[in-house]
Amino acid sequence: MDLTLKIWRQKDSQDRGGFQTHKVSDITPDTSFLEMLDILNDQLEKKNEDPVHFDHDCREGICGACSMYINGRPHGPQQGITTCQLHMRSFKDGDTITIEPWRAQPFPVIKDLIVDRTSFDRIIQAGGYISVGTGGVPDANEIPIPARVSNEAMDAAACIGCGACVAACKNASAMLFVAAKVSHLALLPQGNVEAQERAEKMVEQMDEEGFGSCTNTGACSAECPKGISLEHIARLNREYYFAKQSSDNIPAEDEVHGAG
């Protein structure tokens, strides 16, 4: 199939950037979306032009590197997959496809479709862990955990940190990402000890990074490639609420984080 691509090109974080139109032809349906971009880049390099830069690594939907809007939707038209899992059989001959980087103030563009997502790392650094060091831990079977609970924790832990939730949200809120981690750890007995403090610290960091507030529209979960559920946001709110009641070190901002 032959396609017209309208791609956001931006030299670096200082550049204003803009759309450029590129054409590719003879793309087969079993080509992946990123391979289609590889083909374009091959053409560009042969003409001595700068290839389109985009983040990618595993190309199987697990590293969370790939990140772009395709026709206005994070990770493209299909639900439940990342950009790298999208194949060209989802498009038809003659289509025009618009491709852009994540748009959110805490994710500044570095180049073309690549954005800076280190804000996510800093949120995890603020408390997205259980405070244990290496060694001196109990036997793994000492604390039985019901399979149901462990499964739910796994559902939350499946987040790949791609940022599509932020990109999908009109407020650029990172609630789903934060909730996934808070919920994963709070559900498990090992992580429950620090649950409230963790929620408080991670939310504070999220605010500091400039992510917007959550108004419960649910676009995040609908576009999340791993189907992270909104229930985790409810759990985060609960932990946060109790944390606020029992601590006075961080000012309450309940209205910012939606219903308790």
Partner 1 sequence: MSFDAKIPDGPLDEKWNHHKFNIKLVNPANKRKYDVIVVGTGLAGASAAASLAELGYNVKSFCFQDSPRRAHSIAAQGGINAAKNYQNDGDSVYRLFYDTIKGGDYRSREANVYRLAEVSANIIDQCVAQGVPFAREYGGLLANRSFGGAQVSRTFYARGQTGQQLLLGAYSALSRQIAAGKVQMFTRTEMLDLVTVDGQARGIITRNLITGEVESHSGHAVILASGGYGNVFFLSTNAMGSNVTAAWRAHRKGAFFANPCFTQIHPTCIPVSGDHQSKLTLMSESLRNDGRVWVPKKANKGLTASEAINVSEEDRDYYLERRYPAFGNLVPRDVASRNAKYVCDEGRGVGPSGLAVFLDFADAIKRDGKETISSKYGNLFDMYKQITGDNPYEVPMMIYPAVHYTMGGLWVDYNLMTNVPGLYALGECNFSDHGANRLGASALMQGLADGYFVIPYTIGDYLAKIPYDKVSTDHEEFKKAEAQIRSNIDKLLHSKGSRTVDDFHRALGKIMWDKCGMSRTAEGLKEAKKEIQVLRKEYWDDVNVVGVNEELNMTLEKALRVGDFFELAELMVDDALNRNESCGGHFREEYQTEEGEAKRDDKNFTYGACWEYSGPDTDEKLHKEDLIFENVKLTQRSYK
Residue number with CB closer to ligand SF4 (3 or 182): 182
Q: Shortest gap between Cβ of 108 and ligand SF4 (angstroms)?
A: 17
Q: Shortest gap between Cβ of 35 and partner 1 (angstroms)?
A: 5
DSSP 8-class letter at 50: P
Q: Which two tokens stand for residue 108?
A: 């500044």
Residue number with CB closer to partner 1 (201 or 214): 201
For 23-29, the CB contacts below 8 A with 24+ separation are 25/1, 26/1, 26/2, 27/1, 27/2, 27/3, 27/88, 28/1, 28/88, 29/1, 29/87, 29/88, 29/89
Nearest partner of 103 among 53, 66, 69, judged by Cα: 69
Please check whether residue 253 is in contact with residue 207, taking contact to mean a CB–CB distance below 8 angstroms. yes
Binding at 234: pick from partner 1, ligand SF4, ligand FES, none (beta carbon under 5-8 Å per type): none
Binding at 82: pick from ligand SF4, ligand FES, partner 1, none (beta carbon under 5-8 Å per type): ligand FES
Does residue 116 touch ligand FES according to CB under 6 A? no
Does residue 81 touch ligand FES according to CB under 6 A? no
- State how far the Cα of 236 lies from the Cα of 31, in Å rounded to an integer: 40
Q: Shortest gap between Cβ of 152 and ligand FES (angstroms)?
A: 23
Binding at 2: pick from ligand FES, ligand SF4, partner 1, none (beta carbon under 5-8 Å per type): none
Does residue 1 touch ligand FES according to CB under 6 A? no
Q: Shortest gap between Cβ of 39 and ligand FES (angstroms)?
A: 17
Binding at 224: pick from ligand FES, ligand SF4, partner 1, none (beta carbon under 5-8 Å per type): ligand SF4
Q: Shortest gap between Cβ of 246 and ligand SF4 (angstroms)?
A: 27
Indicate the helix (H) or strand (E) that contains 216.
none
Does residue 59 touch ligand FES according to CB under 6 A? yes
Please check whether residue 241 is in contact with residue 254, taking contact to mean a CB–CB distance below 8 angstroms. yes
Please check whether residue 241 is in contact with residue 189, taking contact to mean a CB–CB distance below 8 angstroms. no
Residue number with CB closer to ligand SF4 (161 or 191): 161
Q: Shortest gap between Cβ of 52 and partner 1 (angstroms)?
A: 10
Provide CB contacts within 8 A for 244, sequence distance 6+.
200, 250, 252, 254
What's the one-letter identity of residue 202? Answer: M
In the chain, DSSP assigns E strands to 3-9, 18-24, 69-70, 73-74, 96-100, 109-111, 114-115
Does residue 53 touch ligand FES according to CB under 6 A? no
Binding at 39: pick from ligand SF4, ligand FES, partner 1, none (beta carbon under 5-8 Å per type): partner 1
Does residue 224 touch ligand FES according to CB under 6 A? no
